Structure 1
Amino acid sequence: MRFTLHGAHLVDATMDVERGDLVIDGRQIQAVEQSAGEDDRQLIDASDSIILPGFIEVHTHGGGGFNLHTTDVEEICSYQRWIPATGVTSFLIAVVGTPNALPEQQLNTAATAIEQASKNPQVPGAEPVGIHLEGPYISVEKRGAHPPVWLRTPDVEETELIMDLTRGHLQLITIAPELPGAHEMIRSLVEAGVTVSIGHTDADYEQAREALKLGITHATHCFNAMRQLKHRDPGPLAAIVQADQVLGELIGDGIHVHPAMMDMLVRLLGPQRTIVVTDALAGAGIPDATFEFAGQQARVICGAARLSDGTLTGSVLTMDQALRNMLEITHVNLSEVSAMLSYNPARSAHVANRKGLLRTGYDADLVIYNQALELQATICNGQVGYANAIWREKLKLQ
């Protein structure tokens, strides 16, 4: 399909063009240009719209009633079809722990889903671009909703097994670097090209500083599930802020992190180093949902996901709402928000050479908002993943 989105407000991490044309040809952006006169292309009037790169989720466990930590490939496929309704065009499949063992079946399922999607690019939906293994090498003190029976001691010999199980699709792994054997495992994973994240950690400031020197370039949900930032005991967050190579996640719901602290983190890291995530669970997008997270019952209470004992577990945030939250809560502009929701996560997921920007030759992954910042349509690799009634008509959908 070849068409031009004409006269739109085009925004990404590198530009803010008040009125421009976006030319889509098949799966790619063919051109980004100032609005011109009529030509022989199929022109779609987008003069009342704001177009940004599609959102990239590097830390999500599911949504729409679907879990990503699963042994059912079709459940991941169902999530792929659902998630564009929230503006997401690419995501990492999050896998957590299993009792007293590596989650081998879940990792195999995730890898199979990724390979299946790459063989069938014509199927509409968000693209799974890799796996995020959140644990099992995390701190028991800062495990959050992860039960102790899921946790394991880092073992460099298990690195090869994990790489075999994920078949080259492991893009991100969360590790508590203070654990015995963690440094050796981090070195091995970095050498293999995996983005290593510090998270679910009780490391102090000095331990974090030493670990970051090993090649860690990512931090899992800053503030949450890590030692607190104190003026005489700064913990890992101060080390993360001081390490220029580290991109830090922020759960953008205003619940996991107080709005004032959300703004403070963005000021400390800068929009160029902040990654907005949802850490969403299967209940995201379903009001008053009761659902399961890796065998544990959870429910939505006052906009937050909690286990039966009241423990905060993931979120029910969606990325289209996260964009509005960041603009309302923090000091950033729309271009900077685009960096945090699209370009920066593309860097950690190793797809920044083709996703995260409105750039010629990049994948045609787009979100279309109206002037009130309400999501109108999502284009995934040049195909319509979601559209409301107005945009279904504009895009000639039945």
Structure 2
Amino acid sequence: MRISGRDPATGRTLCVTVEDGRIGAITEAGGPADRWLAPGLVDLQVNGFAGHDVNAADVDEATVAALVRAVGRTGTTTLVPTLVTAPEERVHAALSAIARARRADPLVAHAIPYVHVEGPFLSAEDGPRGVHDPRYLRPADVAELRRWGDLVGMVTVSPHDDAAIDFIAAATRMGVRCAIGHTHATPEQITRAVDAGAELATHLGNATYTVLPRHPNHLWTQLADDRLHAGFIADGHHLPADTFRVMLRAKGVERSHLVSDATALAGMSPGRYRTPVGGDVELSADGRLSYVGTPLLAGASRSLADGVATAITMAGLTLATGLRLATANPGRFTGGRGLLRLGRPADLITFAWRPGDTTLDVREVLLAGHPVT
């Protein structure tokens, strides 16, 4: 199988030959192409998409498989299902469904490298808590992490007390990545958390108080610490353009990546819905997903392909840089996905795009060399 398109970095037309699900050859093709070619997008935070919800009480392996294909059609070939704060038995049920789906389908196993648990070890304070259900927030507990099993590869935790910082150190030793998020931690606690092994900041700039001290505060500390890689939601709602541009400059492109934070309502019609992520939420015509009766956001409703295009516009990025934020950079945390190199998995997309577009118009998707339709 062969797939071709223009290289976003050079503009040259490339032809990729796929052999046994991997990139077997990359050659320069003659003549212009009307599509761009790139590695498949890598999303470290996906709660759901197009009605498929990994946080639903009745989640099963069919839901997980459908989710992989739904986000795959939008260009995301590696996704990390994200479970939010819930009773422990609900977390176990979702993990079991994801594990069964991976065992049943090699392509699902390829697309899902591990699971991200966002909570329940988060701040209970209004603002930092976001729309996580306060009934199920609880202190960080290494024993609970062990009960979750090996499928959990990332945990978002608020390091606002010694138990959470000890948890980060223990989880890191176990090979589980820790991200800081939904927190009211002090700058000193943020630094201690990074010292303990925290590597990422979950959707930085969101899930915090509506009013913060000018300085110091936990945002400045996370932006300043070069040991932290930051995730950003570039959907035009979670961060204003100026804020996103400045945060991206502070972290540097090399320490930044995009996430969709998509919920099951992504790609759905505007209206009011009830969902495990946020409870009663409202999806506006412009894609803003908010908790009914409050200004708080309840996740996102746009794909990562939308986020790449929006990030390019908001921060004045090149197409190649915008793609890097959703391919190679998050790919570091998924075993090196998101690279167009010989021998790598043939997770590839072609798409149309022009400056000012609000999305990447995905035309063709290969997942481990298999077309996603």
Is TM > 0.5 for Structure 1 vs Structure 2?
Answer: yes
- TM-score, length of structure 2 as denominator length: 0.90
Q: 2:124 aligns with which of 137, 140, 150?
A: 140
Match of 1:73 in 2: 61
Deviation (angstroms), 1:91: 0.3
**CA deviations over 1:82-116 (Å, ceiling 9, x no partner):** 11221111101111122476622122222222333
Q: Distance in 1 between matches of 2:297 and 2:41?
A: 25
SS of 2:65's equivalent? helix
Q: Distance in 1 between matches of 2:273 and 2:101?
A: 22
Q: Distance in 1 between matches of 2:330 and 2:172?
A: 17
Match of 2:357 in 1: none
Q: Percent identity?
A: 24
**Residues 22 and 369 of structure 2 are in contact (CA less than 8 Å); yes or no, is this contact kept in structure 1?**
yes
Deviation (angstroms), 1:16: 3.4
SS of 1:279's equivalent? coil
Q: 2:47 aligns with which of 26, 50, 61?
A: 61
Match of 1:381 in 2: 368
Matched, 1:93 2:90: no
Give the AA of the match of 1:380.
L
**CA deviations over 1:9-60 (Å, ceiling 9, x no partner):** 124xxx5352222111231111223236xxxxxxxx9822111111111111
**Residues 254 and 262 of structure 1 are in contact (CA less than 8 Å); yes or no, is this contact kept in structure 2?**
no
SS of 1:181's equivalent? helix
Deviation (angstroms), 1:128: 1.6
Equivalent pairs, count? 361
**Residues 20 and 34 of structure 1 are in contact (CA less than 8 Å); yes or no, is this contact kept in structure 2?**
yes
Match of 2:264 in 1: 282
Give the AA of the match of 1:51.
L
Match of 1:18 in 2: 12
Q: Distance in 1 between matches of 2:157 and 2:345?
A: 31
List gaps (5 residues or longer) in structure 1: 37-44, 387-398
Q: 2:161 aligns with which of 154, 176, 179?
A: 179
**Residues 227 and 236 of structure 1 are in contact (CA less than 8 Å); yes or no, is this contact kept in structure 2?**
no
**CA deviations over 1:109-163 (Å, ceiling 9, x no partner):** 2222233333xx3x8x98122100000000011110101112011123323222x
Deviation (angstroms), 1:289: 4.7
Match of 2:6 in 1: 9
1:155-170 aligned at under 5 Å gives the runs 155-162=141-148, 164=149, 168-170=150-152
Match of 1:153 in 2: 139
1:219-298 aligned at under 5 Å gives the runs 219-226=201-208, 232-294=214-276, 296-298=279-281
Give the AA of the match of 1:299.
E
Residues 101 and 380 of structure 1: is their aligned pair in 2 closer, same or farther, counting only changes over 3 Å?
Answer: closer
- TM-score, length of structure 1 as denominator length: 0.84
Stretch moving more, 45-54 or 330-339: 45-54
Q: Distance in 1 between matches of 2:19 and 2:211?
A: 48
**Residues 226 and 236 of structure 1 are in contact (CA less than 8 Å); yes or no, is this contact kept in structure 2?**
no
Deviation (angstroms), 1:237: 2.1
Residues 170 and 18 of structure 1: is their aligned pair in 2 closer, same or farther, counting only changes over 3 Å?
Answer: same
Q: Distance in 2 between matches of 1:301 and 1:212?
A: 37
Q: Distance in 2 between matches of 1:206 and 1:228?
A: 21
**CA deviations over 1:272-315 (Å, ceiling 9, x no partner):** 11111111111101121544432723231242112333332001
Match of 2:72 in 1: 84
Match of 1:106 in 2: 94
SS of 1:133's equivalent? strand
Match of 1:394 in 2: none
**Residues 137 and 151 of structure 1 are in contact (CA less than 8 Å); yes or no, is this contact kept in structure 2?**
yes
**Residues 305 and 312 of structure 1 are in contact (CA less than 8 Å); yes or no, is this contact kept in structure 2?**
yes
Residues 263 and 52 of structure 1: is their aligned pair in 2 closer, same or farther, counting only changes over 3 Å?
Answer: same
SS of 2:232's equivalent? strand
SS of 2:330's equivalent? helix
Match of 1:28 in 2: 22
Stretch moving more, 87-96 or 371-380: 371-380
Match of 1:40 in 2: none
Residues 56 and 179 of structure 1: is their aligned pair in 2 closer, same or farther, counting only changes over 3 Å?
Answer: same
